[in-house]
Structure 1
């Protein structure tokens, strides 16, 4: 009797592999699709890929419960993002804050206050005006104030010389020596009139001159006007104190200027003129 054939076992069913699904992001926001393989997911917290081909979402849950993932999640929660240090502001608010800082610096300069005074004043503003969003964000100490004066206010203040040059306007100049220790400095102030702005008084330059002789000061004044592209023939008057070096009849700064521009007038020192007028008037009443 022939042997009976052995029963054939049914072929083992092959398991279907799983792919990454986009809907998992709603439940697990820390994952995304891996670039290398569609059967893997990328953990944004751990910065590593893991397979989901066999368990699908179960593999995601398995990774979420792992010690490495839990430790990395705790670290991310305690870290502060760099973006949090930069306050998001709209353009209009930023402009208002910048205007407030620049106005405060201009006020400090106009009233001859030190840059150091802004260190205290700017810290006081948020406390005085606690309901103001601008005051809360204003920040300007002596370092920033100096930068604003040097890079913003100073170029803007000296820009008027271009107008004098282009419109061929007549102007007067004034200067006087000021001693700071062993350093001798001279400011150059100009005064002019325009139909749009009326009488204007501006500081043109500020220079150091060791020699206080008539020839040295005259040469420096001429050079400074030349640097600003201003013609000395447009100078209508020269103002300074009544010292001999300025208005001596034989040799002085005024006499040197008159050799170049014969129409220049001696304005002398207005402060001394007013002082002498008041002094003389008081002497008349005291008699």
Structure 2
């Protein structure tokens, strides 16, 4: 009797869902079935029946159960790569948040709550769940990551382009003296930009000490300032711009021919200060008296609003004439001129009662010839000093 050898058919695996367990195997010229779960070869002399029979054996059942939770090497690497990608994107997000905080001058304290808010809003984001940055970490990122990278880029820019140095020494609120350095760089295509360079704590503000701090900074970061520094600007203080024993005198010895320029704001301040010495004192007294009269009295402020509405002017508050800010009186005088009519009506009404001596004194100042001439100027030409398109500034530009 001649027996017919069954032929292997790939449809056996498809029909019986064996494709995940085994494949065809050829061994000793026999067609066998290689079971991946049991890791053995099975004869298929009787065709599909041998596959079905092997499927229900205890050995195959136990082997299949043990391999259900196993992961392939490819899937393990894929998950690891995905996890690494999420970690990297979370770090990138933290750097971007740090840049946002620095760019908009936000307090570091908001980072105590911002990550929790992001996780709550973006609850389905794997990146938001991995963002963990508090105030200390954000400060460290700004100082050691983005700040250091920006410094390196700026140093490279200064070594490859001509630049001018702008310096100023000041004292902060904690009574700590600092030397601020700003670099004005002429980049490609004559694109001039200002870059914050350094804020150096100092103890001695003499010309020699400030010059030594500047030189030490350039030497520390390898900046070729002798070759590329073409200009220096600062305020008109003697330790900065003095003819002898100052920062400028030492820089000129080191870099002959360097262009030096004093601060224009300081020059304007000196001009304005000397000019104001020729003005009557009543003008500044009037500005201070008016502010003090309304500053601590909500009742008077509300009463003034009625006269402002009657005079058809904006119901705004009076400004404080600061004695420490340059040209601060300009905005104060502007406000007084725009409110001149309302103030005259208000203090005339208050002084008529003869009980408010402060109002009577202010009304007396309002009636001074100099103040009257200013009031006539505003009423005649309708000048709005608070507007950038005013007739006064337009005529000055022409």
Is residue 2:223 matched to residue 1:238?
no
The aligned residue for residue 41 of structure 2 is: 51
Partner SS, residue 236 of structure 1: strand
- Report the CA distance shift for 1:122/1:277 in structure 2 as closer, same or farther (over 3 A): farther
Alpha-carbon offset, residue 286 of structure 1: 1.3
Q: Deviations over 1:235-275 (max 9, x none)?
A: 31232683x544455423233223223544253594x6677
Alpha-carbon offset, residue 123 of structure 1: 4.5
- Report the CA distance shift for 1:145/1:183 in structure 2 as closer, same or farther (over 3 A): closer
The aligned residue for residue 363 of structure 2 is: none
Distance 1:121 1:206 in 2: 29
Question: In the alignment, is the contact (CA less than 8 A) between 1:225 and 1:231 conserved in 2?
Answer: no
Distance 1:84 1:199 in 2: 49
Question: In the alignment, is the contact (CA less than 8 A) between 2:158 and 2:228 conserved in 1?
Answer: no
Which protein is richer in helix relative to its size? 2
The aligned residue for residue 18 of structure 2 is: 28
Distance 1:137 1:196 in 2: 45
1:108-257 equivalence runs, <5 A: 108-114=101-107, 117-118=110-111, 120-125=113-118, 139=131, 141-142=133-134, 143=137, 146-147=140-141, 150-151=144-145, 154-156=148-150, 158-167=152-161, 169-176=162-169, 186-193=179-186, 196=189, 198-205=191-198, 214-226=207-219, 227-231=222-226, 234-239=229-234, 242=237, 245-247=239-241, 249-257=243-251
Question: In the alignment, is the contact (CA less than 8 A) between 1:171 and 1:235 conserved in 2?
Answer: yes
Q: Structure 1 length as normaliser, TM-score?
A: 0.59
Distance 1:209 1:15 in 2: 101
Distance 2:19 2:144 in 1: 51
Q: Structure 2 length as normaliser, TM-score?
A: 0.46
The aligned residue for residue 260 of structure 1 is: 254
Q: Deviations over 1:111-150 (max 9, x none)?
A: 333556346335534655799x899699473547854774
Question: In the alignment, is the contact (CA less than 8 A) between 2:22 and 2:33 conserved in 1?
Answer: no
1:71-86 equivalence runs, <5 A: 71-72=65-66, 75-76=69-70, 83-84=78-79
The aligned residue for residue 69 of structure 1 is: 63
Partner SS, residue 231 of structure 2: strand
Distance 1:41 1:180 in 2: 82
Distance 1:239 1:183 in 2: 20
Distance 1:33 1:221 in 2: 77
- Report the CA distance shift for 1:282/1:209 in structure 2 as closer, same or farther (over 3 A): closer
- Report the CA distance shift for 1:216/1:25 in structure 2 as closer, same or farther (over 3 A): farther
Alpha-carbon offset, residue 202 of structure 1: 0.3
Which stretches in structure 1 are left out of the alignment for 5+ residues? 1-9
Distance 2:100 2:218 in 1: 28
Question: In the alignment, is the contact (CA less than 8 A) between 1:129 and 1:135 conserved in 2?
Answer: no
- Report the CA distance shift for 1:19/1:144 in structure 2 as closer, same or farther (over 3 A): farther
The aligned residue for residue 284 of structure 2 is: 286
Distance 2:154 2:127 in 1: 32
